[in-house]
Amino acid sequence: MLVNNFSWKIGGEAGYGIKSIGALLARSMMRLGLFVFTYDEYPSLIRGGHNAFEVTVSPGPINAPKRPINILVALDQTTLNQHANELSDDAAVIYNSKTVKAPTALLPKNTRLFPLPLQEIVSKLGGQKIMHNTVAWGASLALLDVDFDFVKTMIESSFDTKDPKIILQNIKVASEGFEYLRRNYSIKDFNYKVEKRNNPGRILMTGNEAIAWAAIKAGCKLYAGYPMTPSTSILHTMADNADEYGIVFRQTEDEISAVNMVIGAGYAGWRAMTATSGGGFALMSESLGMAATLEVPLVIVEAMRPGPSTGMPTWSGQGDLRFVLSASQDEFPRFVLAPGDVEQCLNLLPIAFNLAEKYQTPVVVMTDKHLAECYKTIDRANFKPVTIERGEVLSESQLAKIKDYKRYAYTDSGVSPRALPGTKGGVHLVNSDEHNESGFTDESSEERVKMMDKRFRKLEAARKDIPQPVFEGDGHADITLIGWGSTRGVILETLKSLQSQGVKANFLQILCLSPFPKEAVMNVLKKSKKIAIVENNKTGQLAGWLKENIGLDPHYKVLKYDGRPFFTEELIETVKELL
């Protein structure tokens, strides 16, 4: 019997409410004091097509989805056929007895079957058709040996609607799902169950939500954006909370308008942000260079999905690293940060805003669909008070003491104090043409070189402020895994598992990709016996960047670019083969 340790999955047609019921199950487990990590797969369609949502439940912190699946809820035949091979030998399948044919030869021999007349239960109780997923949720709780009372409490406290009729109907159908399973089947021999633990008020959040909230915390006062999967829930979270937190929210006509509005606000002295995916970032890239040469703070979130072009809109990948590192014409300093989990999103966004303002330089925060949309249980304590550093901004009285204010004054750090529009005594030109210290257009050989060098000095000055790589695991390991972004979760789970099998491995996560933390990375790698880069792209973009920066080739590249994240079992096997 395994307590509080299992993976649950639901599948059905798009439009069946798969995601919302999956999130409800995840939230239920969190309320019961457990840790969860969710993973969903869905096509870029509103109706039809196949959706699946899985919830990995664990008694302790969990960082990645875990397979095999122990409970599968099949709302249709496709679910059963597509996911039968993901099941453990002792798995249970709850399915719609009217529409799904089971058992099939695809299922493991000992699969426990729980056919339920989902639709009949809903129509008998006068519910709406979509509520068959609520029935399945109730049945899942019954199977996991959760107390019946929890069903009602959970629905009452979780549904967004204020309509008591809808809540009541959902309680009715969920309760009947729960009781139907208990009446008709025994759960005595089922290997997985839930036992309530202390819940210290954890929360369930996606990377996108964490980014939005961290930005709000850090004083982001204008958000402009355009919908693009998988960045869109940042847009939604900002829209939902704009009024309460005094944020100007604008959905613009395109990403170009969004980024320019953010640049305008940043120039005027507001903290502002936009988020998009690769395609939208491509549209923004000319403006990225403008912000860099005007030396206006800018924060862009780039949530990656597989390309090229439209690619696979609702899937995950890390193929934009090289693009973000070099987007826009010619060369200019930029910060590129890549949080690896929900907690790091909370930590890095305030840093992104500080770097952008302190160094008057664009910052791109890179995530991917896997981080952007997967839910994870986190501690509220991760929402620490943020320190706000705005860099040098001159006041009217400071400007009064300066005889000839130069917006782009040559300094050792390369940072020239700003005067915000509206400040008396600070009138100046910010200029996308190459310019001199005063901002006037200047194409002389001498000024060009000086100004280019000044901009690049900022990157060196910022080295003391950039987030350092994160090192995890044994100092003397047989193998070092290097990653960036969302692979953090699966690598941590892999490390845990390898350790329990007596394999020594460690992990170096690069949080700041530009400027590249050469020394810190070298310090770790010079002690490594074997080095493997783990990335979700075709060519090993971090590997190339590593080589360019520190002249080192990793021994192995572990690459996956099918739109799916690495799964723990898969990565464990791969790493073992490398040893």
Partner 1 sequence: MSTQKDFTTSYTPNWCPGCGNFGIFPATKMAFVELGLEPHQVAMIFDIGCSSNGSNFFRVYSFHGIHGRALPVAEGVKLANPELTVLADAGDGGGFGEGMSHFIHTARTNIDITYLVHDNHLYSLTTGQTSPTSGRGLKTKTAPGGVIDRPFNPLAAALINGATFVAQGFSSDIPHLAGLIKKAIKHRGFAFINILQLCVTFNKVNDQNWYKDRIYKLEGTNHDSSDYYRALAVATREDSKLPLGVLYQAEKPTLSDGLQLTVKTPLVKQPLTNVDISKSLEKYS
- In angstroms, what is the minimal distance from the CB of 158 to partner 1? 10
Q: Does 429 help bind partner 1 (rule: CB under 8 A)?
A: yes
Residue from 104, 128, 326, 441 touching partner 1 (CB under 8 A): that is 441
Residues linked to residue 506 through DSSP beta bridges, in sequence order: 473, 480
Burial class of residue 150 (count of CB atoms within 10 Å of its CB; 0-12, 13-18, 19+): middle
Of 209, 320, 447, 535, the one binding partner 1 by CB under 8 A: 209
Say how many C-beta atoms besides its own lie within 10 A of residue 270's C-beta. Answer: 17
Residue count of the chain = 579
Cβ distance to partner 1 smaller for residue 243 or 412: 243
Q: Are 469 and 495 in contact (CB under 8 A)?
A: no
Beta strands in 14-146 (DSSP E): 35-41, 50-58, 69-74, 87-96, 112-116
Only one of the segments 58-66, 98-106, 420-428, 567-575 lies at the binding site for partner 1 (rule: CB under 8 A); that segment is 420-428
- Do the beta carbons of residue 565 and residue 487 sit within 8 Å? yes
262 in contact with partner 1 (CB under 8 A): yes
CB 542 within 8 Å of CB 482: yes
Location of structure tokens 């001159």: 394
Report the residue number, 269 or 278, with the smaller CB distance to partner 1. 269
Of 69-128, binders to partner 1 (CB under 8 A) are: none
Q: Does residue 253 bind partner 1 (CB under 8 A)?
A: yes
Q: Which of 92, 224, 363, 508 binds partner 1 (CB under 8 A)?
A: 224
Smallest distance, partner 1 to C-beta of residue 321, A:
25
Chain residues 173-202 in contact with partner 1, contact rule CB under 8 A? 201-202
Q: How far is the CB of 252 from partner 1 (least distance, A)?
A: 7
Taking the mean position of all CA atoms in its chain, how far away is CA 530? 29
Instruction: Copy the structure tokens of residue 267.
Output: 């120039």
Residue 155 corresponds to which amino acid?
I
Say how far residue 455 (Cα) sits from the centre of its chain. Answer: 31
Under the criterion CB under 8 A, does residue 254 sit at the interface with partner 1? Answer: yes
Residue 334 sits in the site that holds partner 1 (CB under 8 A):
no
- Measured from the Cβ of residue 332, the count of other Cβ atoms closer than 10 Å reads 20
Q: 165 φ, ψ to 5°?
A: -65, -45
If the CB atoms of residues 30 and 321 are measured against partner 1, the closer one turns out to be 30
Q: Does 154 bind partner 1 (CB under 8 A)?
A: no
**Sign of torsion over alpha carbons 493, 496, 497, 503:** positive
Which tokens hold the place of 346?
């909370």
432 interacts with partner 1 by CB under 8 A: yes
Among 101, 424, 518, 547, interactor with partner 1 by CB under 8 A: 424
Binding to partner 1 (CB under 8 A): which residues in 29-58?
A: 30-31
In this chain, which of 133, 169, 257, 541 binds partner 1, going by CB under 8 A? 257
Site string for partner 1, 286-305 (x = CB under 8 A): xx--x---x-----------
Q: Is the peptide bond before 350 cis (omega within 30 degrees of 0)?
A: no
- DSSP assignments along 334-399, one per residue: -EEE---SHHHHHHHHHHHHHHHHHTT-EEEEEEEHHHHH-EEEE-GGGSPPPP-----B--HHHH
Three-state SS for 162?
Answer: coil
* DSSP conformational letter for 482: E
Task: Give min distance, CB of 532 to partner 1, in A.
Answer: 35
Counting Cα atoms < 13 Å in the Cβ hemisphere of 167 gives 13
Q: CA 375 to CA 38: how far, in whole Å? A: 5
**Complex with partner 1: residue 121 or 342, whichever CB lies closer:** 342
Cα–Cα distance list, 421 to 173, 268, 290, 429, 430 (Å): 60, 6, 18, 10, 11
CB of 295 to partner 1, least distance (A): 12
Cis peptide before 565 (omega within 30 of 0): no
Q: Which is nearer to partner 1, 202 or 370 (CB)?
A: 202
Q: Which two tokens stand for residue 211?
A: 């980014």
Stretch that binds partner 1, among 54-62, 121-129, 260-268, 536-544 (CB under 8 A): 260-268
> Which residues, including other chains, have CB under 8 Å from residue 64's CB and lie 6 or more apart?
37, 56, 489, 490, 492, 493, 565, 567, 568
Nearest to 190 by CA among 83, 94, 100, 66: 94
Instruction: Using the minimum distance from each CB to partner 1, give the nearer residue, 176 or 447.
Output: 447
Q: Counting contacts by CB under 8 A, is residue 381 touching partner 1?
A: no
Indicate the residue among 420 and 579 with the shorter CB distance to partner 1: 420
Q: How far is the CB of 385 from partner 1 (least distance, A)?
A: 5
Binding-site size, partner 1 (CB under 8 A):
69
Residue 269 in contact with partner 1, rule: CB under 8 A: yes
Q: Which CB sits closer to partner 1, 246 or 308?
A: 246
Which one, 190 or 213, has the nearer CB to partner 1?
213
Q: Partners of 206 in the beta sheet?
A: 375
In the bound state with partner 1, the residue whose beta carbon lies nearer, of 253 and 412, is 253
By beta-carbon proximity to partner 1, the closer residue of 246 and 551 is 246
Q: Which is nearer to partner 1, 203 or 522 (CB)?
A: 203
Tell me the per-residue interface mask from 229 to 248 with partner 1, x by CB under 8 A, - otherwise. Answer: ------------x--xxx-x
Amino acid occupying residue 530: K
Return the residue of 271, 454, 488, 496 that touches partner 1, per CB under 8 A: 271
| Binding to partner 1, residues 388-407 (CB under 8 A) | 388, 390
Residue with smaller CB distance to partner 1, 37 or 484 = 37
Instruction: Tell me the C-alpha distance between 270 and 264, whole Å.
Output: 9
In the DSSP assignment, the letter for residue 209 is: H
CB of 217 to partner 1, least distance (A): 5
Dist CA 159 CA 430 (whole Å): 50
Q: Which residues lie near partner 1 (CB under 8 A)?
A: 30-31, 201-205, 209, 213, 216-219, 221-222, 224, 241, 244-246, 248, 250, 252-254, 256-258, 260-272, 286-287, 290, 294, 380, 383, 385-388, 390, 420-433, 439-441
